[in-house]
Structures are given as structure tokens and as C-alpha cells.
Amino acid sequence: MKAIILRAVGSPENLELAEIAVPAIKDDEVLVKVKAISINPVDAFARRNQESLNYVLQLKGDEKNIILGWDIAGIVTEVGPAVTRFKAGDEVFGMVKFVGQANGYAEYVAAPENDLALKPGNISFGEAAGAGIAALTAWQSVVVGGKVKKGDKVVITGASGGVGHYAVQFAKYFGAYVIAVASAENRDFVLGLGADEFIDYQTQAFEELVTNADIVHDAVWSDDVRHIERSVKAIKPGGILLSLIVDFDDEM
């Protein structure tokens, strides 16, 4: 099968198309013929940073090939003897083996049964592949961490981004009043997702317009420390700041 191999840490030019063997599956895994993948910021960061590559892929040093990618969508072609939820021909999607080496940049992926879900029939493989790390990050932040509930006033910065646009939808699903912060060109997009108000960060300071939010979901990486300080100003006493900023030594 064809796969994209990372020959060395560094620029995208270090990614090369190669021919490798189709992976064997374990008892609790299925073999997925990949139809679409999504590439996330963590892919780019791991590619450029050896320490992060070692951690995110859980490298032991004896790997024959280094292959990035965790978000996939495709069709099950083979199932292990312990698999009960899927059969050959099922259309599936998921975030596979994160952290760990899922080898998503390949024609076939061996995926644990518990890392996959059936793909809804009304979305494409591309749309399904995009609902892995981004959607789960938003869910973990807004629903698990923020415990969003009906009536909460929620500010979501980076609302048109991969994580942000899911955060808007999750918050609305649970009955929150959502204030979306994004660029003017994305106004119609985020309002179309269900946001109740829109703030153009290029011309308006959200922390001056909102000072009583129950929750602020901050997913903006640029000028990160100052942006967190701005987010704190938008929260009422006792409110919740959900920050996705990670203190990396290198820039993503």
C-alpha cells in the first residue's frame, strides 16, 4: 500500500510517498481502507519537533517507518475475532491511537474497535475525518471541563476554527447563549452554526463588550499569554476559563 513516511524531523519536504506492507490487525482491531484524513496542528508540531514526535507517537526507537496522522474515515475491510461492533463494509470514522502511532497517512489503517464510530450516512468521508481531534477537543473543553448548561453565557474565541466551530455547536446544543469571536469574513458561517452574537476581533475587543460570561473557551494561539489575560476579563466572578494553550518550547 502507499503511505506518506516522515524521513526526518523538519519541513514538509521530509514527507515522502512510499510503498509499505498493509498492516496486520490485532484481535480487537479492524482494518480500514482510508478514504479521507484530516491534518491537525499537532501533526505539524510533531513533524517539526523531535521531543514532541517521540511523545505523541510514543516512539521506542525501533520503528521501521514513521507515519503521522490520527483522524481517519473509511471502509472496514477486515475485522479481528474479538470485534463485535463492526463488520466488513461498514463506513467508519474516528481518532485512532492518540497518543500513539496510528499511521493515518496511509491507504490502510489498523484501528482499535473502540476508537471508531459508524459514519452517518448524511456526511461525506471528508467531513467525518474532520470530526476527530477537533471535535473531541471541543467536547472535552466545553462539555467535560466547562460543564456547559442551559442558560450559560459562553464566549468562544477562534469560533470559525477547527475546534471553535465545534465548540459553538456543542454549547448551543446544551442550551447556552453563545457569543462567537472571529473575523468579519466568517460572521455568516459562525452565526449559521447557531451563535447568538458575533464579535469581529479585528475591530472590537471582546473583553470590553462582554464582562459577565459564565464560560470563555479560548483557543487562540497567537499572543497567547495576553489573550488569556483578555479572556479572564470577560469572565464574571466564579466563571470558568477553558484555555487550549499548551506551553511548548517551540512554536507550532
pLDDT for the residue 220: 85
CATH number attached to the domain at 134-243: 3.40.50.720
- List per-block mean pLDDT (blocks of 10 residues) for the chain, which spans 252 residues: 97 97 98 97 94 95 95 98 98 97 98 98 97 96 98 97 96 98 98 98 97 95 79 97 68 39
Q: Class assignment of domain 2-129? A: alpha beta
> pTM to 2 decimals?
0.89
Q: What is the 3-state secondary structure (H, E, C) of the chain?
A: CEEEEECCCCCHHHEEEEECCCCCCCCCEEEEEEEEEECCHHHHHHHHCHHHHHHHCCCCCCCCCCCCCCEEEEEEEEECCCCCCCCCCCEEEEECCCCCCCCCCECEEEEEHHHCEECCCCCCHHHHHCCCHHHHHHHHHHHHHCCCCCCCEEEEECCCCHHHHHHHHHHHHCCCEEEEEECHHHHHHHHHCCCCEEEECCCCCHHHHCCCEEEEEECCCCCHHHHHHHHHHCEEEEEEEEECCCCCCCCC
- Predicted pLDDT at 70: 98
Domain boundaries, the chain: 2-129, 134-243
